[in-house]
């Protein structure tokens, strides 16, 4: 785990960043996944992102944003678990 330029922790999952994991799991572009992870890290919630940040997500539907959030949470929890071992 490292600290990114924006002050957020950069979690690693088997060599992948959170954004790379989310992109792979949800079959979305790396660019959109990067933006989603940044918003999730900033505390933005799924309904807010789905409604007011569609331009940043490539017009993902609410269900797709929710799926990305679930992948984000899973990856983050796995990363935190590995750090605690």
Q: Per residue in 47-57, pLDDT tens? A: 999 999 999 99
CATH topology for 2-84?
Answer: Arc Repressor Mutant, subunit A (1.10.10)
Distance of alpha carbon 77 from alpha carbon 55, whole angstroms: 28
Q: Is pLDDT at 7 greater than 70 in this prediction?
A: no
Where do the domains of the chain lie?
2-84
**Beta carbons within 8 Å of 46's beta carbon, 6+ residues apart:** 62, 65, 66, 69
pLDDT band at residue 73 using 50, 70 and 90 as cut-offs: very high
Q: HSE of 50 in the Cβ direction (CA atoms, 13 Å)? A: 12
Q: Mean of the per-residue pLDDT values for the chain? A: 85
pLDDT score, position 6: 44
Q: Is pLDDT at 69 greater than 70 in this prediction?
A: yes
């Amino acid at each position: 785990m490292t600290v990114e330029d924006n002050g957020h922790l950069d979690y690693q999952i088997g060599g992948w960043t959170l954004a790379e994991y989310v992109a792979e799991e949800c079959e979305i572009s790396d660019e959109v996944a990067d933006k989603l992870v940044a918003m999730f890290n900033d505390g933005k919630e799924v309904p807010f992102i789905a409604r007011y940040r569609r331009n940043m997500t490539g017009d993902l539907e609410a269900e797709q944003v929710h799926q990305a959030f679930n992948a984000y949470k899973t990856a983050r929890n796995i990363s935190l678990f590995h750090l605690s071992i």
